[in-house]
Structure 1
Amino acid sequence: MKYKTFALSALALAASSAALAQSSTGSVTLYGVADANVQVLDGASSLTRVQSGGLNGSRFGLRGTEDLGSGLRAFFVLESGINLDNGSNGQNSFWGRQAYVGLATPYGKVSLGRQYGSLYNLSSDFSQFSNNSFGASTAVIGGFGGYEPVRGGDGSAATNGGPTRINNSIKFESQNYSGFSAGALWGAGEVAGDTKGNRVADIYGRYTQGGFDAMLSYVDDKANTVGLKTRTVSGAASYSFGPYKVNGGVISVNDRSIANADGEGYWLGGSYALGQHTFKTQYVESKNKGGLVDGKTQAFGVGYQYDLSKRTALYSSLTQFKNDGNGYVARAASSLPANLTSASDRDVTEFVAGIRHSF
């Protein structure tokens, strides 16, 4: 009996040691952002409302890694968007922001699932107001809510998702070689008999050295299920020196569908950081160049951010959106409520004040 007890104790200790050894080579992290703001819109009429996601989109997620040895590492991300103003899911799906698993090697990493396309990173990393729905943000240009001229779907999980988040995708990102990295993504169409006709192809490169950062992107989107055939070429750069940062970017879309509604947009911005204070400004222009409707949106905004801590910040912005063109749908950074603009008054002034907490 003593021998059996000793043997069972030894097995339990060995199992416990193995579990500890396994947990020491891997980890799972719960993280998230809670971001909400009060938005005041003034156009042909006025509106005050609470919105979610100013500085960053509200979310929570799980991120995990495991060291497999020999330079190999497994990883995964599951990330859910949250609309704090009403408690609903963002991106029309529970894990709508990101959901993928992959393997990292000494040469790069490969991942499968719903993932960011290069346009998301380009329009976010190189913009003072990111690609969220406040301020003079690149959401005025990007397809983050069906906005033009980027026509690669509505960004939701209901379609192939491109070009900002791409469903059914295979992605490769290289290691960093003296500041340069590159990547390629293929979003499978998954339509019987027409898989290639409903796919997204995305290639990009990025160079980062010192305070300089630049990125180029090419996206070929054949979302035939929603009648879209676009090729998007974009580039952006930023430079930081001391407390200053300047940035800019351009997006050009060739619409190869019957609509032939080409478009282009660009942005220029800068910021100054002083201790816990950050002052920022940006100009964005989006223009439709063909098809049945021509017009443009110009947005100029100034913003202020006060960091209460590394995880909590207060922010505000004041932006003027000018919408020109016959038949052109008026826009701001976020989707416009009905009756906010009229045929004779389509300009919009936006004021935002909010708080972001990260965990």
Structure 2
Amino acid sequence: MTLHTRTLAPIALALASLAGAAQAQSAVTVYGRVDLSLAQQADAVDNKEVRNGSGSRLGFRGTEDLGDGLKAVFQIEHRFNADDGTQTKSAFWDGKAIVGLEGAFGRVTLGREENPAYTYSQSPADPWATDTVASNGSIISGRIGTTRYSNSVNYRFSAAGFTAAAQIAEMDGNAPATGTATDRPYSLGGAWAGGPIVLGVGFENPADENDHWATVNGSYDFGIVKLGAFFGTGRDGNDQKQRAYLVSATAPIGNGQLRASWGELKNRDTDVIRDRQFALGYHYALSKRTTVYADVVHEGRDNMADNLKTTGYDIGIKHNF
């Protein structure tokens, strides 16, 4: 049987349309970051080095349209040390490893994921988002919480500028600082954004039976400067009360951003200051993907060893792709 050109043309057009529709139904994004700096870490020995400014990473995320507003979603993220090419931790997909469904009901995922208290209340309060030598990570976490939990079930729902999220995880793979998991960890978080105002709350219950960490944060963007504040309170694995404060300011200057913060973490039961620091930095965007930066931080705490540096700094470059 002979097929003429007039017969083949509609078939070719139909196949092309079907191929295009199939491609439109699913999408995968490859992304990553490489970030290195010349740095001296505060609260550490004198050891000037090429250091990872923030977590260098390679990730894949994607969606598949299942119809009727339902989507399948996934994300996997590898973390590595760009200074020597080694893995950050033993887990290869340490950053994230999740799969789930998303629709009008919200988003449900399983796997290794950031906890909602960190995502919506802790990290947004830090102008450095817990990166570089100026990170306020120990203050916003109270040295109680953690960034991610493995073997978790996660739910998130967003509407009208408000986002609420919840997470519960197995004890397996989520050992607390005390070394032994005795409780199933869970976390709650929420945020609301309206105009120049952003508010967030979080509650985290790690895997130790005594510890928990509650936080609240907020910011107001005046245009020339954005001011923020954070408060955290809870108990550590030794059942001792911890309290934290953080105030911050960010201001656009040229193609860059000036950042500043002051914060403190204190053990209320022993009256010991565990962390107190002031940080200042400027991050300049060479392009939408490449940033050069310089930060300085002065840190002190009670019983700090004499051989540890109280001042840290970094000068670095970050490229996102």
Separation in structure 2 between the aligned mates of residue 58 and residue 346 of structure 1, nearest angstrom? 26
Q: For the Cα contact (< 8 Å) 1:251–1:264, is it kept in 2?
A: yes
Asked if 1:306 is matched to 2:293, the reply is no
- The correspondence of residues 235-250 of structure 1 with structure 2, limited to 5 A, is 235-250=216-231
Q: Which residue of 1 aligns with 2:185?
A: 200
1:89-144 deviations in whole A, cap 9, x for unaligned? 12431110011011111131111110010232222222112112411x2213255x
Separation in structure 2 between the aligned mates of residue 10 and residue 198 of structure 1, nearest angstrom? 63
- The correspondence of residues 287-326 of structure 1 with structure 2, limited to 5 A, is 287-290=266-269, 294-325=272-303
Cα gap change, 1:91/1:262 in structure 2, threshold over 3 Å: closer, same or farther?
farther
Separation in structure 1 between the aligned mates of residue 75 and residue 276 of structure 2, nearest angstrom? 36
Q: For the Cα contact (< 8 Å) 1:318–1:350, is it kept in 2?
A: yes
Q: Which amino acid aligns with 1:38?
A: L
Q: Which amino acid aligns with 2:248?
A: G
Q: For the Cα contact (< 8 Å) 1:205–1:217, is it kept in 2?
A: yes
Asked if 1:164 is matched to 2:147, the reply is yes
1:210-248 deviations in whole A, cap 9, x for unaligned? 11111111112234xxxx531110111111121311112
Separation in structure 2 between the aligned mates of residue 230 and residue 272 of structure 1, nearest angstrom? 36
Separation in structure 2 between the aligned mates of residue 98 and residue 322 of structure 1, nearest angstrom? 33
Separation in structure 1 between the aligned mates of residue 79 and residue 44 of structure 2, nearest angstrom? 32
Q: Which residue of 1 aligns with 2:177?
A: none
Cα gap change, 1:281/1:138 in structure 2, threshold over 3 Å: closer, same or farther?
same
Give the drift of 1:165: 0.4
Q: Which amino acid aligns with 1:180?
A: F
Give the drift of 1:42: 7.1
Q: Which residue of 2 aligns with 1:264?
A: 243
Give the match's secondary structure for 1:89: coil
Cα gap change, 1:216/1:8 in structure 2, threshold over 3 Å: closer, same or farther?
same
Q: For the Cα contact (< 8 Å) 2:260–2:281, is it kept in 1?
A: yes
1:186 to 148, 165, 168: 168
Q: For the Cα contact (< 8 Å) 1:248–1:268, is it kept in 2?
A: yes
Asked if 1:111 is matched to 2:109, the reply is yes
Separation in structure 1 between the aligned mates of residue 193 and residue 143 of structure 2, nearest angstrom? 26
1:274 to 241, 248, 253: 253
Asked if 1:31 is matched to 2:12, the reply is no
1:72 to 70, 73, 87: 70
Q: Gaps spanning 5+ residues in structure 1: where? A: 144-148, 153-162, 331-341
Per mean C-alpha deviation after superposition, the further-off stretch among 304-313 and 272-281 is: 272-281
Q: Which residue of 1 aligns with 2:47?
A: 47
1:250-274 deviations in whole A, cap 9, x for unaligned? 222223x5x3233222211101102
Give the drift of 1:63: 1.0
Q: Which residue of 1 aligns with 2:123?
A: 124
Give the drift of 1:319: 1.1
TM-score by length of 2: 0.87
Give the drift of 1:40: 2.5
Q: Which amino acid aligns with 1:212?
A: I
Q: Which residue of 1 aligns with 2:202?
A: 217
Per mean C-alpha deviation after superposition, the further-off stretch among 8-17 and 122-131 is: 8-17
TM-score by length of 1: 0.78
Separation in structure 1 between the aligned mates of residue 106 and residue 44 of structure 2, nearest angstrom? 52
Q: For the Cα contact (< 8 Å) 2:27–2:64, is it kept in 1?
A: yes
Per mean C-alpha deviation after superposition, the further-off stretch among 35-44 and 298-307 is: 35-44
Give the drift of 1:34: 0.8
Q: Which amino acid aligns with 1:164?
A: T
Separation in structure 2 between the aligned mates of residue 266 and residue 42 of structure 1, nearest angstrom? 19
The count of residues paired between Structure 1 and Structure 2 equals 312
Q: How well do the aligned residues superpose, as a CA RMSD in angstroms?
A: 2.8
Q: Which residue of 2 aligns with 1:150?
A: 143
Give the match's secondary structure for 1:248: strand
Q: For the Cα contact (< 8 Å) 1:34–1:58, is it kept in 2?
A: yes
Percent identity reads: 29
Give the drift of 1:181: 1.9
Q: For the Cα contact (< 8 Å) 1:190–1:198, is it kept in 2?
A: no
